[in-house]
Amino acid sequence: MSEEAAAPATDSRVAAAVRPSPNHNARRGPARPDAIVVHYTGMADGPSALRRLCDPEAEVSCHYVVEEDGTVIQLVPESRRAWHAGRGLWCGADDLNSASIGVEIVNGGHDFGLPAYPEAQVAAVIALCRDVMDRHGIAPERVLAHSDIAPSRKRDPGELFPWKRLADAGAAIWVEPSDDGSIGLPLDPEEVRAVQADLARLGYGIAPSGIHDAASRGVVEAFQRRHRPARVDGAMDPGTRDTLARLLLLHGPGGPTR
C-alpha cells in the first residue's frame, strides 16, 4: 500500500494549508519582497473568493487568504510574484506585485456594507504579517493598504480595518489622528503643494502640482481611510495635515529601510 502524498509545505508557520493558485510568475528585480500589501476580498464569502483567486481565467491571486475564523491559507509561494496589486505606485515603484507579499482578508468590503473584521481574523492577520516581516526583514512602514498604492481604483481594506492594532504589534505604522474636526480655511496653491509633497514623501503616488483636483483628492481620501478614518472626504483639513505631519516626523518616508 503506497503512502499518502504529503501535503504541500507552507512558507509561513501561521498558514494552516495550501490551496495552489496557478496565477503567478517570477518576481522582477530583487528576489526578496520588501513590502506587504493588505486587501479585502470584496466578495460575498470566502469560498467565492478562493475560487476566483485560483481561477486561471481570472488572472488574480495572492500569497495568503485569511478567513473570518482566522484560518490562513497559502495560495502562491512567497518566492513567486502573485497577481494582487495591479496598477499602483508607492515610493516611485510601480511593480508592487514583484516587491510584495499579498494578503487577502475575507471581507465583503464596501459593496457588501463593509462588515467589521472579527477578532480571530485580526489576530491571524497580525500573526501572519509579523511572521512574514521577521523572515524577510520588512519594516512596519512597508505594510501597505491596497488603497495606498492604488488610490484612484481601490478602497481596501477600508476605513474599518484596525491599523492601530497592527501598529501596536509592530506590524504597521500609526499615530493617533488629530481630533481637530474643523474644515479650516481654503489653502493657497503653495500650501496645497506642500501637503502633496508630504504625501509623496510618505510614499503616495502624487505630484506636487498645487492643484487639489480629483486625483489629489483621491490620494487624500486614501490617506484618511488609512490614518484618519473617522472622516474620509478628501479635504486637506487641519486634522488631516496634522496627522500627516506627525506620521512623517515619527516614521519618515515609506521606502525600503533594510
> Residues 142-200: pLDDT tens digits?
999 999 999 999 999 999 999 999 999 999 999 999 977 677 778 999 999 999 999 99
Question: Whose CA is closest to 63, among 50, 52, 74?
Answer: 74
Domains of the chain: 17-168 (3.40.80.10), 189-251 (1.10.101.10)
209-237 residue pLDDT tens: 999 999 999 999 999 999 999 999 999 99
Quick one: CA dihedral 150, 231, 215, 184, positive or negative?
A: negative
Catalytic residue of the set 3, 4, 67, 104: 104
- Strand 35-40 relative to strand 143-145: parallel, antiparallel, unpaired? parallel
Burial 41-55 (b: 16+ CB within 10 A, else e): bbbeebeebbebbbe
Provide the H-helix boundaries in the chain. Answer: 46-53, 96-99, 119-136, 146-149, 163-168, 189-202, 214-227, 238-251
65-108 residue pLDDT tens: 999 999 999 999 999 999 999 999 999 999 999 999 999 999 99
Alpha-carbon gap, residue 20 to 166, rounded angstroms:
27
Task: Report phi then psi at 5, rounded to 5.
Answer: -60, 140
104 is catalytic: yes
Alpha-carbon gap, residue 222 to 149, rounded angstroms:
9
CB 99 within 8 A of CB 83: no
pLDDT of residue 256: 56
Residue at grid coordinates 510614499: 203
The number of helix segments (H) and strand segments (E) in the chain equals 8, 8
pLDDT of residue 255: 59
Of the ranges 25-39, 57-71, 192-206, which one carries the lowest mean pLDDT score? 25-39
